[in-house]
């Protein structure tokens, strides 16, 4: 019997933890690149405000999910990742790095954006700048609109520290004196209900400005004394706690996933605390009391020089109609002959690059399928759809029109669980067959299948995409869509739907790659093929675009390819645990991140194959979860002209970008690229110019 292979770093140098960055810390650093957009004076002012808010919202979600996952690993002894860092070490570094980010966010707000907005006539007024007229109006507003819905809670033996809802705005009040029952005041908690607007717009006749706003937190802190008549308010300090929001349902132990998720959602807002934000001037004893109640360490507190709910200032972006302070509007390119889509697709594949191409043909395909008497069946996956989705209405109408409609609704789409439960109920009430996916594997694939009778034969029409069936994100995210009647792809999609809904055995696909079965191995096979080409002296090249990269086997395969001489360019928007530029290991690998007007979301894999390239678009990033623990699809672009278009628009243009690109350095930092002597070029701006030309 052969002895087991020793895979220690000494015998397998490509497993050396020094060759891998930490996924969480890499993800956290992405927000510095987002924040850089808020600091960039060449970006329109209100758009800079939007970038600031995005970085704040991202940080919230990071603590709710990524940091919470690290804490879970620490508590339950989960094995360390490829970087070799213990969870306790990662948590400490997270808090240190997040503290730097928070400091930079509030410096951006206080010293850059707020003064510049004020100069542009968009004023967010602090308490110390209210004049007498504004103060009177705000006090009246507090009494009429805010005070009636508040329920202050004094802390004493009969009123222990209350449960604090995740990310809710709260004020801790220090009191002196006695209340009506003779109870001595000490501390009280005032929670702002979520029904209250976090940004209040002052009437122009009161304020004198058309766009004058105040934070709800400022109003609460200013007039909180009215909630405690007869007592003296010695101090009022806003705070907010961020909690773990990752729902954990043992799918194999529950009889009904939907009911189990509904139960979990009830308590989601009160899971374990991960971070405490509090006013910078809050006394240390109160901070210690809060940390003790939330069971948080000292480094989990963030003292805030401004409103703790800074991301809520995004309402100013929505309320202020100032085109001069925003990106110029654009109209996506509209496909010709969309009123006869089946005929159009029968003649050749249709490729769309969103948001530069309109998402309307996808909606139109479902609508025409619902109304066409020759359509027999519609099958679709839904991960995120948005509110009041036209897609859902078309699917409901299709079922009412007698079509056989099957929808795979992924109930576990993070933060959309409640919406998807309601969506599933709506579809089932209309007669749609709803499937909740596969136990243990999120269904993240984006697939639509239409079966249509044409003469004496049945023909399959398919839509595949890298993004969700969500009209809103289709205008804000870059994604690739393909509508095709190719028989092989139609057969593959049919088999995948049958596998998901009917518990079918492993299938052999003709054209597509599928997680958790062939996508991972298919990527590895193609990387290894490039390695063999390079060793044989043939041209070898890999270009891949994705949101994140951390799968160790893929990274080791890329390192081996680099060592063989394969030239590798990776366009990775967020977390990347591969370390580029290491001599003798990854010196042929370059990694860049693009941060621009639109969120980069398309996944495209291109393998040179010695002049006969393979090009796949996919729903999956090169992450462990996507390649091994989800239902994902990778689909080829078979039409040579369309493949060339994707290669240019989604890959080559992004490699030429020298305005929105950041290059990952061997030490883990990112360097913003500059045009230098080259002509300035932005991939997104170029694509926008093409639709306007």
Q: Do both 242 and 346 map to the same domain? A: no
Kind and range of the H or E run holding 224: none
Q: What pLDDT, in 10s, does the model give residues 312-356?
A: 999 999 999 999 999 999 999 998 877 889 999 999 999 999 999
Determine the pLDDT at residue 47: 98
Q: Do both 182 and 214 map to the same domain? A: yes
Question: Mean pLDDT of all residues in the chain?
Answer: 91
State the Cα–Cα distance between residues 303 and 316, nearest whole angstrom: 24
Determine the pLDDT at residue 3: 43
Helices (H) and strands (E) in the chain, counts: 22, 27
Q: Do both 342 and 320 map to the same domain? A: no
Q: Do both 382 and 319 map to the same domain? A: no
Look up the domain containing 121 and give its range.
Answer: 14-325
Checking if the pLDDT of 305 tops 80, the result is: yes
Residue 138: inside a domain? yes
Selection from 186, 184, 286 nearest residue 237 by Cα: 286
Residues 265, 266, 271, CA angle at the centre, nearest 5°? 80
Determine the pLDDT at residue 531: 98
Confidence band for 84, pLDDT divided at 50, 70 and 90? very high
CATH classification of the domain holding 574:
3.30.870.10
Confidence band for 5, pLDDT divided at 50, 70 and 90? very low
Checking if the pLDDT of 4 tops 50, the result is: no
Residues annotated as catalytic (active site), given as ranges: 444
Confidence band for 181, pLDDT divided at 50, 70 and 90? low
Q: In b/e form, how buried is each residue of 396-416, taking b as 16+ CB within 10 angstroms? A: bbbbeeebebbbbbbbbbeeb
Q: Which of 84-98, 237-251, 623-637 has the lowest mean pLDDT?
A: 237-251
Residue 397 CA, distance from chain mean position? 31
State the Cα–Cα distance between residues 462 and 436, nearest whole angstrom: 21
Is the pTM value of this prediction over 0.95?
no
Give me the mean pLDDT over the 374-380 stretch.
97
Phi-psi region of 604 (alpha: psi -120 to 50; beta: other; left: phi over 0): beta
Strand ranges in 97-183 using DSSP code E only, listed in sequence order: 122-124, 153-154, 170-176
Q: Do both 453 and 368 map to the same domain? A: yes
Residue 3: inside a domain? no
Give me the mean pLDDT over the 404-414 stretch.
84
Determine the pLDDT at residue 60: 96
Instruction: Pick from 255-269, 428-442, 655-669 the range whose average pLDDT is largest.
Output: 655-669
Strand ranges in 391-476 using DSSP code E only, listed in sequence order: 404-409, 433-435, 442-443, 447-454, 457-465
Q: Do both 342 and 317 map to the same domain? A: no
Give me the mean pLDDT over the 672-679 stretch.
93
Task: Write down the residue that tokens 């510049």 correspond to.
Answer: 116
Confidence band for 420, pLDDT divided at 50, 70 and 90? confident
Determine the pLDDT at residue 594: 98
Q: Is the dihedral of CA 266, 270, 272, 275 positive or negative?
A: positive
Residue 365: inside a domain? yes
End-of-domain residue from the set 303, 325, 347: 325
Determine the pLDDT at residue 552: 97
Percent of the chain predicted with pLDDT > 90: 78
Checking if the pLDDT of 215 tops 80, the result is: yes
Phi then psi for 425, rounded to 5 degrees? -60, -45
Residue 9: inside a domain? no
Determine the pLDDT at residue 208: 87
Give me the mean pLDDT over the 421-433 stretch.
87
CATH classification of the domain holding 142:
3.30.1840.10
Q: Which tokens in the block code for residue 110?
A: 């206080």
Determine the pLDDT at residue 280: 94
The number of distinct structural domains making up the chain is: 3
The partner residues of 600 in beta bridges, in order of sequence, read 478
Q: Do both 313 and 174 map to the same domain? A: yes
End-of-domain residue from the set 292, 325, 358: 325
Residue 637: inside a domain? yes
Residue 2: inside a domain? no
Checking if the pLDDT of 267 tops 50, the result is: yes
Q: Which tokens in the block code for residue 600?
A: 């980069």
Determine the pLDDT at residue 76: 81
Q: What pLDDT, in 10s, does the model give residues 478-528?
A: 999 999 999 999 999 999 999 998 867 778 999 999 999 999 999 999 999
Q: Do both 217 and 264 map to the same domain? A: yes
Confidence band for 261, pLDDT divided at 50, 70 and 90? low
Checking if the pLDDT of 637 tops 50, the result is: yes
Confidence band for 177, pLDDT divided at 50, 70 and 90? confident
Q: Do both 162 and 94 map to the same domain? A: yes
Higher-confidence position of 293 and 154: 293
Determine the pLDDT at residue 515: 96
End-of-domain residue from the set 511, 539, 568: 511
Checking if the pLDDT of 34 tops 60, the result is: yes
Q: Do both 559 and 598 map to the same domain? A: yes
Checking if the pLDDT of 363 tops 80, the result is: yes
Task: Write down the residue that tokens 């109304």 correspond to.
Answer: 371
Q: Do both 671 and 633 map to the same domain? A: yes
Residue 61: inside a domain? yes
The partner residues of 607 in beta bridges, in order of sequence, read 542, 614
Q: Do both 651 and 545 map to the same domain? A: yes
Confidence band for 383, pLDDT divided at 50, 70 and 90? confident
Checking if the pLDDT of 617 tops 90, the result is: yes
Q: What pLDDT, in 10s, does the model give residues 536-566?
A: 999 999 999 999 999 999 999 999 999 999 9
């Amino acid at each position: 019997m052969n002895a087991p292979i020793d895979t220690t770093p000494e015998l397998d140098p490509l497993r050396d933890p020094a060759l891998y960055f930490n996924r969480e810390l890499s993800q956290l650093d992405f927000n510095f690149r987002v924040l850089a957009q808020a600091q960039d004076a060449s970006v329109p002012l209100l758009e800079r405000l939007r970038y600031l808010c995005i970085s704040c919202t991202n940080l919230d979600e990071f603590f709710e999910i990524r940091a919470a996952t690290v804490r879970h690993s620490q508590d339950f002894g989960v094995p360390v990742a490829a970087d070799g860092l213990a969870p306790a070490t990662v948590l400490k570094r997270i808090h240190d790095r997040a503290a730097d980010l928070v400091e930079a966010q509030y410096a951006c707000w206080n010293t850059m954006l707020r003064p510049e907005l004020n100069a542009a006539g968009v004023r967010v007024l602090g308490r110390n700048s209210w004049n007498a007229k504004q103060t009177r109006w705000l006090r009246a507003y507090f009494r009429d609109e805010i005070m009636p819905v508040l329920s202050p809670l004094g802390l004493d033996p009969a009123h222990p520290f209350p449960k604090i809802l995740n990310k809710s705005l709260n004020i801790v009040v220090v009191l002196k004196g006695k209340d009506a029952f003779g109870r001595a005041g000490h501390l009280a908690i005032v929670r702002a209900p979520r029904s209250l607007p976090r940004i209040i717009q002052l009437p122009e006749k009161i304020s004198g400005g058309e766009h004058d706003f105040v934070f709800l937190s400022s109003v609460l802190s200013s007039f909180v004394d009215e909630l405690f008549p007869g007592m003296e308010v010695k101090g009022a300090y806003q705070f907010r706690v961020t909690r773990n929001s990752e729902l954990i349902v043992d799918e194999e132990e529950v009889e009904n996933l939907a009911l189990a998720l509904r139960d979990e959602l009830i308590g989601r807002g009160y899971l374990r605390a991960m971070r405490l934000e509090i006013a910078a001037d809050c006394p240390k004893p109160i901070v210690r009391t809060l940390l003790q109640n939330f069971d948080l360490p000292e480094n989990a507190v963030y003292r805030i020089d401004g409103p703790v709910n800074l991301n809520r200032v995004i309402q100013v972006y929505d309320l202020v109609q100032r085109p001069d302070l925003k990106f110029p509007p654009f109209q996506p390119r509209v496909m010709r002959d969309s009123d006869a889509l089946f005929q159009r697709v029968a003649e050749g594949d249709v490729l769309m690059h969103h948001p530069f191409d309109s998402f309307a043909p996808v909606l139109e395909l479902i609508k025409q399928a619902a109304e066409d008497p020759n359509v027999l069946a519609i099958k679709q996956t839904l991960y995120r759809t948005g509110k009041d989705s036209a897609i859902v209405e078309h699917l409901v109408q299709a079922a009412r029109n007698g079509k056989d409609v099957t929808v795979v609704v992924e109930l576990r789409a993070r933060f959309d669980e409640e919406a998807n439960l309601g969506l599933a109920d709506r579809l089932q009430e209309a007669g749609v067959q709803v499937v909740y996916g596969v136990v243990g594997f999120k269904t993240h694939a984006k697939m639509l299948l239409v079966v249509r009778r044409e003469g004496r034969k049945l023909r399959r029409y398919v839509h595949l995409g890298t993004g969700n069936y969500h009209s809103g994100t289709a205008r804000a995210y870059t994604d690739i869509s393909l509508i095709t009647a190719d028989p092989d792809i139609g057969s593959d999609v049919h088999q995948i739907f049958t596998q998901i809904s009917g518990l079918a055995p492993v299938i052999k696909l003709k054209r597509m790659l599928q997680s958790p079965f062939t996508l991972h191995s298919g990527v590895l096979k193609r990387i290894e093929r490039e390695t063999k080409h390079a060793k044989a002296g043939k041209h070898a090249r890999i270009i891949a675009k994705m949101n994140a990269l951390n799968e160790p086997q893929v990274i080791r395969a890329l390192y081996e390819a680099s060592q063989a001489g394969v030239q590798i360019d990776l366009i990775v928007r967020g977390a990347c645990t591969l370390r580029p530029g290491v001599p003798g290991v990854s010196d042929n690998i370059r990694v860049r991140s693009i941060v621009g007007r639109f969120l980069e979301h398309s996944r495209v894999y291109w393998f040179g194959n010695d002049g006969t390239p393979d090009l796949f678009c996919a729903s999956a990033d090169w992450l462990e979860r996507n390649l091994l623990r989800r239902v994902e699809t990778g689909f080829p672009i078979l039409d040579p002209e369309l493949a060339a278009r994707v290669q240019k628009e989604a890959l080559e243009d992004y490699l030429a970008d020298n305005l929105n690109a950041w290059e990952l350095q061997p030490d883990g930092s990112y360097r913003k690229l500059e045009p230098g002597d080259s002509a300035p070029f932005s991939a997104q701006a170029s694509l926008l110019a093409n639709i306007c030309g």
